[in-house]
């Protein structure tokens, strides 16, 4: 492949709105800047949609819905397969683009492009497996026919932390199910989604099926679309606070919702755990995406007998991590998304230290340019530290000690969130017992990464509603219709 350059990959992206299969400027030609979080400098300008542009995008999705629903599943599947192939073929360019707008190291960005593409491969396979049912009524007289149909035009909203995969995790099942859509990526990372729109058009997606809005006014543009009533579904990934507000807006027209919200993952290490596996799992669960993941281990609970060894070995690994711009070779700790993220991590660490935690490594910001925070390990973090209740969303590992299994489970469940929990133990009975008691939609059992397109991803409690991926992922975009047959 020819050498790819930063200006080359940014220059290659269409930066207008994608509506009805065409690239169009925002009303009045308005634009906003996309910044590189490792330098603070502008990479480019993209179209800044107004509420009127939002309505145009919804008009296009509504107009395309009936035709799209009638496209044979095999054709929908083949579009996804072609888009999968293009994502894999262009992985290096797309990864560099993602690193520039989001900051994660290029090696991780490549991993995300592969992960993102796998959702298209998975849902290409699911598109042709939408089933129904035929049953005899209990009284023997009638018959039940059950069919599944696309829910209708969908609104999709995605966060900045996985700019490509959080999109394909929604777009894949929507295409497979026969739904049209309007998608709004986060203003901080719109370029990956714009590049994806181009790829889907190239893969043969008909006009109007996917419409992309980039905007600096997410609330102002999306609320009217949610309240409009023509879209029948909102699939949102982002913070619990915003999710709650959107649920209220959806209540007006009773939209179907999928909510992938915040997390506060506990990471339990029992004394009988294989310590090599636990340390490896801890590094993955904490440092994937520089700690900016909903699945990030947010609280480490370690049994007293092994807490010293675990803390020492985790500290050694964390302090050896190279920090820098994500485009540099070997970098693991890239910049956080913005200064506000650095300030939040800083204030959570100060709060924990004020309440008695001890810093084993890191614990400080790094002079600019860029939004860097050191890889940090804290020990003796008390239960009343703010970071025990709030998402850290940065490279900070807070360790607390426990004595009994019941104590560990109670601490783990002491949160309003319920996305994922991690358990490290070599005792099979304990593994299953603890997994059953943990209040979470997903458990990493001796494993620091749970995300997999073929598995149902999602949370309980205030971490969300519904599941993405797996065999249930497509159901989020399907309605069940039952036909009562009089024989
Ligand atoms: P966020 O602030 O909630 O934003 C998420 C998306 O919602 C962005 O596109 C944002 O656009 C948009 N948005 C914000 N306010 C809105 C409003 N009033 N109306 C409509 N859209 C609105 O979250 P974030 O900071 O981007 O992402 C981090 C959060 O996402 C964390 O809490 C993380 O745990 C969660 N997350 C969850 C999952 C999961 O699968 N459960 C996966 C990844 C991330 P703008 O930014 O342009 O305003």
Distance in Å, CA 306 to ligand 1 centroid:
37
Residue pLDDT, tens place only, 63-97 = 999 999 999 999 999 999 999 999 999 999 999 99
Residue pLDDT, tens place only, 98-131 = 999 999 999 999 999 999 999 999 999 999 999 9
Pair (197, 326) in one structural domain: no
Q: Which of 185, 239, 462, 463 to mutate to test the pocket of ligand 1 (most atoms within 8 A of CB)?
A: 239
Pair (420, 471) in one structural domain: no
Distance in Å, CA 260 to ligand 1 centroid:
9
Could you tell me the CATH number of the domain that includes residue 14?
Answer: 3.40.605.10
| Predicted pLDDT at 368 | 81
| Predicted pLDDT at 266 | 98
Pair (323, 420) in one structural domain: yes
**Residue 405 neighbours by CB under 8 Å, 6+ apart:** 270, 430, 433, 434
Pair (205, 326) in one structural domain: no
Q: Which two tokens stand for residue 110?
A: 């490549």
Pair (176, 272) in one structural domain: no
Q: Which two tokens stand for residue 101?
A: 């707008």
Pair (127, 143) in one structural domain: yes
Could you tell me the CATH number of the domain that includes residue 370?
Answer: 3.40.309.10
| Predicted pLDDT at 3 | 77
| Predicted pLDDT at 288 | 97
CA 239 to centroid of chain Cα atoms: 10
The proportion of the chain whose per-residue pLDDT surpasses 90, expressed as a percent, equals: 99
Helix axes 73-89, 165-177, angle to 10 degrees: 160
Identify any residues that bridge with 464 across adjacent strands, giving them in sequence order.
Answer: 260
Region 447-470 average pLDDT = 98
**Residue 313 neighbours by CB under 8 Å, 6+ apart:** 275, 279
| Predicted pLDDT at 330 | 95
Instruction: Report if residue 457 sits inside a domain.
Output: no
Distance in Å, CA 218 to ligand 1 centroid:
10
Contact 228, 221 (CB under 8 A): no
Pair (348, 476) in one structural domain: no
Catalytic residue among 294, 391, 468, 476: 294
Please, what is the Cα angle at 420 between 418 and 425, to 5 degrees?
Answer: 125
Q: With H, G, I as helix, E, B as strand and everything else as coil, classify residue 139.
A: coil
Region 221-250 average pLDDT = 98
Contact 235, 257 (CB under 8 A): yes
> Does position 1 have pLDDT exceeding 90, yes or no?
no
Pair (126, 249) in one structural domain: yes
Instruction: Report if residue 152 sits inside a domain.
Output: yes
Pair (436, 471) in one structural domain: no
| Predicted pLDDT at 276 | 98
> Does position 261 have pLDDT exceeding 80, yes or no?
yes
Region 362-381 average pLDDT = 95
360: containing domain: 265-452
> Does position 263 have pLDDT exceeding 80, yes or no?
yes
> Exposure string (b/e) for 80-105, b if CB count within 10 Å is 16 or more?
bbbbbebbeebbebbbbbbbbbbbbb
Region 202-206 average pLDDT = 98
**Residue 201 neighbours by CB under 8 Å, 6+ apart:** 18, 21
Pair (278, 238) in one structural domain: no
Instruction: Report if residue 81 sits inside a domain.
Output: yes
Q: Which of 227, 242, 261 to mutate to test the pocket of ligand 1 (most atoms within 8 A of CB)?
A: 242
| Predicted pLDDT at 138 | 96
| Predicted pLDDT at 215 | 98
pLDDT band at 365 (very low <50, low <70, confident <90, very high): very high
> Does position 399 have pLDDT exceeding 90, yes or no?
yes
| Predicted pLDDT at 309 | 98
> Does position 2 have pLDDT exceeding 90, yes or no?
no
Enter the pTM of the model.
Answer: 0.98
Pair (216, 331) in one structural domain: no
For 364, what's the count of Cα atoms within 13 Å in the CB-facing half-sphere? 7
Contact 14, 190 (CB under 8 A): no
> Does position 222 have pLDDT exceeding 70, yes or no?
yes
Atom of ligand 1 nearest to the CA of 468: 40
260 as an active site residue: the answer is: yes
Q: Please list every protein residue whose CB sits less than 6 Å from any atom of ligand 1.
A: 157-162, 166, 184, 186-187, 218-219, 222, 237-239, 242, 245, 260-263, 294, 391, 419, 459, 464
Q: Which two tokens stand for residue 372?
A: 């860097």
> Exposure string (b/e) for 287-323, b if CB count within 10 Å is 16 or more?
bbbbbbbbbbbbbbbbbeebbeebbebbbebbeebeb
Supply the mean pLDDT for the chain.
Answer: 97
Cα separation, 171 vs 165, in Å, equals 10
Please count the structural domains in the chain: 2
Pair (332, 425) in one structural domain: yes
């Amino acid at each position: 492949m020819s050498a790819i350059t930063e200006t080359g990959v940014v220059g290659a992206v269409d930066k207008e709105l994608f509506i009805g299969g065409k690239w169009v400027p925002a009303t009045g030609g308005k634009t906003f800047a996309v910044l590189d979080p490792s330098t603070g400098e502008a990479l480019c300008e993209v179209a800044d949609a107004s509420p009127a542009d939002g309505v145009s995008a919804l008009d296009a999705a509504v107009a395309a819905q009936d035709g799209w629903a009638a496209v044979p599943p095999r054709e929908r599947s083949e579009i996804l397969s072609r888009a999968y192939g293009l994502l894999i073929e262009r992985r290096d360019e797309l990864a560099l683009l993602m690193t520039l707008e989001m900051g994660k190291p290029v090696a991780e960005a490549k991993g995300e492009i592969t992960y993102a593409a796998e959702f298209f491969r998975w849902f290409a396979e699911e598109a042709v497996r939408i089933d129904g049912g035929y049953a005899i009524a209990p009284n023997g007289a009638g018959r039940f026919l059950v069919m599944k149909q696309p829910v209708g035009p969908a609104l999709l909203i995605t966060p900045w932390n996985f700019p490509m995969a959080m999109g394909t995790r929604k777009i894949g099942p929507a295409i497979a199910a026969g739904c049209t859509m309007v998608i709004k990526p986060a203003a901080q990372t719109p370029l990956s989604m714009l590049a994806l729109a181009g790829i889907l058009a190239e893969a043969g997606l008909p006009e109007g099926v996917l419409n992309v809005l980039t905007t600096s006014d997410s609330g102002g543009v999306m609320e009217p679309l949610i309240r409009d009533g023509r879209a029948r579904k909102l699939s949102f990934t982002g913070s619990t606070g915003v999710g709650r507000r959107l649920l209220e807006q959806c209540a007006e027209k009773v939209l179907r919702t999928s909510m992938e919200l915040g997390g506060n993952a506990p990471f339990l290490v029992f004394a009988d755990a294989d310590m090599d596996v636990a340390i490896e799992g801890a590094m993955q669960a904490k440092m994937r995406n520089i700690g900016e993941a909903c699945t990030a281990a947010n609280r480490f609970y370690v049994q007293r007998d092994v807490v010293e060894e675990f803390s020492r070995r985790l500290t050694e690994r964390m302090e050896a991590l190279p920090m820098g711009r994500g485009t540099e070779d070997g970098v693991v700790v890239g910049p956080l998304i913005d200064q506000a993220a650095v300030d939040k991590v800083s204030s959570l660490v100060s709060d924990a230290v004020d309440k008695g935690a001890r810093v084993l490594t890191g614990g400080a910001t790094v002079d600019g340019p860029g939004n860097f925070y050191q890889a940090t390990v804290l020990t003796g973090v008390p239960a009343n530290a703010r970071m025990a209740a709030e998402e850290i969303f940065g490279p900070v590992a807070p360790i607390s000690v426990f004595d009994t299994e019941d104590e560990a489970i109670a601490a783990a469940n002491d949160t309003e969130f319920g996305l994922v929990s991690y358990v490290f133990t070599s005792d099979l009975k304990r593994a299953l017992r603890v997994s059953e008691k943990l209040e979470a939609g997903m458990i990493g059992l001796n494993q620091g990464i749970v995300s997999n397109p073929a598995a149902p991803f999602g949370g309980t409690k205030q971490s969300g509603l519904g599941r993405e991926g797996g065999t249930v992922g497509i159901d989020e975009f399907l309605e069940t219709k039952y036909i009562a047959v009089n024989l």
